[in-house]
Structure 1
Amino acid sequence: MNPDPIADPFDLTGRRALVTGATQGIGTDIARTLAGAGCDLVLTARDREGLAALARSVRADHGVRVEVVPADLADAAETEALAASALAAFDGLDVLVNNAGISVPQRVVDVDATTWDLVLAVNLRAPALLGSRIGRAMAQAGRGSIVNVSSVAGSLALAEHFSYCASKAALIMATKVLALELGPSGVRANCVSPTVVMTEMGQRVWGEEAKAAPLVARIPLGHFARPADVSHAVLFLAADASAMVNGVDLKIDGGFSVA
């Protein structure tokens, strides 16, 4: 017998989510999108003032509960403390969105250990630790959704992005292991892999038409992604709409990776 149909498979009312990297670009859009679906939020980033301002705005716009926990995800101890604080904020979590990430462009021949370790710490170790600690609590509760924000650079090599590509490729595989081990306890793990997203940073780097044109020409849909393209995919993976989706790397790239 099939289970009863879900009244609104995108409704997150009463759910609790942690969103990392919440004060910039994609992270802010994800936070607002989840709040718009009724989700209570724990928001984290290094920018204390930015977190406080975002929390006030989200509470006013959507009427959900919002707590902030400033943290530097390059620091393993702060990451561990974040997991504990986020779980305590609303007595558990239903959704974890590992969005925070950094990129320090370097040619292969110029890579240095300090930069390599920093990028891997933020882009891979932090989501792995949060996935482990929060995933364990979700498994004990019997449900949860982990959504990792990777990149098409995790599947396709990008010049001058040695550490970034390596970290995002590893994050995709880490997601699959989370899905494999936590799935039997009712916890799903998936990731989204966008192409260039036209945040403020994306505009600064790719806003010049002459620079962007060769890359846009390789995207069958003919344009870069918007923040909403990513946040809507995250909402889908966080919600019951994707109840049978586990271990997937969802490309948000307009067909770039198949062209």
Structure 2
Amino acid sequence: MNSTKRVALVTGAARGLGFATAERLAQDGIGVALADINGEGAEDSAARLRNRGIDAHGYRLDVTDPASIGTAVAAVERDFGRLDILVNCAGILPRVNGRNPTVADMPLDLWNATIAVNLTGPMLMAQACVPAMRRGRFGRIITISSRSGRMRTFGNAHYSASKAGLFGLSRILAGEVGPDGITVNCIAPSRIDTELNRAMPGNEATLQAALKETPIGRIGQPEDIAAAVAYLASDAAGFVTGAILDVTGGSYMP
């Protein structure tokens, strides 16, 4: 048990953005709890970090299930002795037969599943983690949203609505927990080169289109998002709350 250094719980951490975020936070000396619905994957990723001398543990966690969340959060506090930072990385983007569904043909079960993971999940995670942060008089809640929550796209209303909802959730929560020394912020990335995105149909064409609209001239990497998380988790960002940090290479400028 380490009761002195800060501890971060990262959801969706078995791979992709979540794993890159846990790895980056560990570079700043933060203990990392890697949580994922794929519990074995989370533990395997945590073991990779432990092999490098990093204080890391893996946990199975379903962000749609309050009981699963409660069990995982209790285990994190047991293993580390504290919980200071929550990073909501878990998310889904389900399609219909490989295509982006329009509102007219949106299956209700697809809509409900997306809202449950992408929007209700971060709310449930905050409910479970805020008490520990209040006890420590310090907290950081950082949620990965998307630029699609701020702009028009074709189809995928289930995803865009869930990501837009995170902005409202985070701003209300920021006002509620600010007096306790807790900040709440969103990061809104453009398309990021992750394993999940590479596996999607038409990925190469999508990447080329993304390149054309990005002034920086490259596709975002998981490390770009992880660096933004590290800033918002740091003492340097203590006066930043209720904010949306766009990490898009300039492809979206509000």
Match of 1:194 among 180, 185, 189: 189
Q: Which amino acid aligns with 1:36?
A: Q
Mapped partners of 1:213, 1:22: distance in 2: 27
Equivalent residues in 2 for 1:151-230, closer than 5 Å: 151-205=146-200, 207-208=203-204, 210-230=205-225
Uncovered stretches (5+) of structure 1, i.e. residues with no partner: 1-12
Which one is further off, 106-115 or 81-90? 81-90
1:72 matched to 2:72? The reply is no
Q: Find the counterpart in structure 2 of residue 19 from structure 1.
A: 10
Deviations 1:180-211 (A, max 9, x none): 11111100111111100011223344652x44
1:118 matched to 2:108? The reply is no
SS at 1:201's partner residue? helix
The answer to whether the Cα contact below 8 Å between 1:80 and 1:129 also exists between their aligned partners in 2 is: no
Mapped partners of 2:206, 2:227: distance in 1: 28
Q: Which amino acid aligns with 1:27?
A: G
The answer to whether the Cα contact below 8 Å between 1:42 and 1:89 also exists between their aligned partners in 2 is: no
Once the two structures are TM-superposed, the CA of residue 255 in structure 1 deviates from its matched residue by: 1.4
Q: Which amino acid aligns with 1:213?
A: Q
Mapped partners of 1:162, 1:211: distance in 2: 18
Once the two structures are TM-superposed, the CA of residue 26 in structure 1 deviates from its matched residue by: 0.7
SS at 2:8's partner residue? strand
Q: Which amino acid aligns with 1:229?
A: D
Equivalent residues in 2 for 1:92-171, closer than 5 Å: 92-105=82-95, 106-171=101-166
Mapped partners of 2:128, 2:65: distance in 1: 15
Mapped partners of 2:42, 2:132: distance in 1: 25
Once the two structures are TM-superposed, the CA of residue 71 in structure 1 deviates from its matched residue by: 1.8
Mapped partners of 2:219, 2:91: distance in 1: 19
Equivalent residues in 2 for 1:43-82, closer than 5 Å: 43-61=34-52, 63-82=53-72
Q: Find the counterpart in structure 1 of residue 77 from structure 2.
A: 87
Which one is further off, 74-83 or 18-27? 74-83
Q: Which amino acid aligns with 1:131?
A: A
Once the two structures are TM-superposed, the CA of residue 152 in structure 1 deviates from its matched residue by: 0.5
Match of 2:237 among 232, 236, 242: 242
Mapped partners of 2:75, 2:39: distance in 1: 16
Once the two structures are TM-superposed, the CA of residue 143 in structure 1 deviates from its matched residue by: 0.7
Percentage of pairs with the same residue: 34
Mapped partners of 1:255, 1:215: distance in 2: 11
Once the two structures are TM-superposed, the CA of residue 46 in structure 1 deviates from its matched residue by: 1.8
Change (3 A) 1:201 1:185: same
Deviations 1:47-96 (A, max 9, x none): 232122111111121x2322222022233332343333333332221111
Mapped partners of 1:203, 1:54: distance in 2: 20
TM-score (norm 2): 0.90
Mapped partners of 1:119, 1:130: distance in 2: 16
Aligned length: 245
CA RMSD between the two structures: 1.8
Uncovered stretches (5+) of structure 2, i.e. residues with no partner: 96-100
SS at 2:104's partner residue? helix
Once the two structures are TM-superposed, the CA of residue 179 in structure 1 deviates from its matched residue by: 1.1
Which one is further off, 198-207 or 146-155? 198-207
SS at 1:192's partner residue? strand
Q: Find the counterpart in structure 2 of residue 254 from structure 1.
A: 249
Mapped partners of 1:248, 1:211: distance in 2: 28
The answer to whether the Cα contact below 8 Å between 2:84 and 2:132 also exists between their aligned partners in 1 is: no
TM-score (norm 1): 0.88
SS at 1:256's partner residue? coil
Mapped partners of 2:223, 2:80: distance in 1: 26
Once the two structures are TM-superposed, the CA of residue 242 in structure 1 deviates from its matched residue by: 1.1
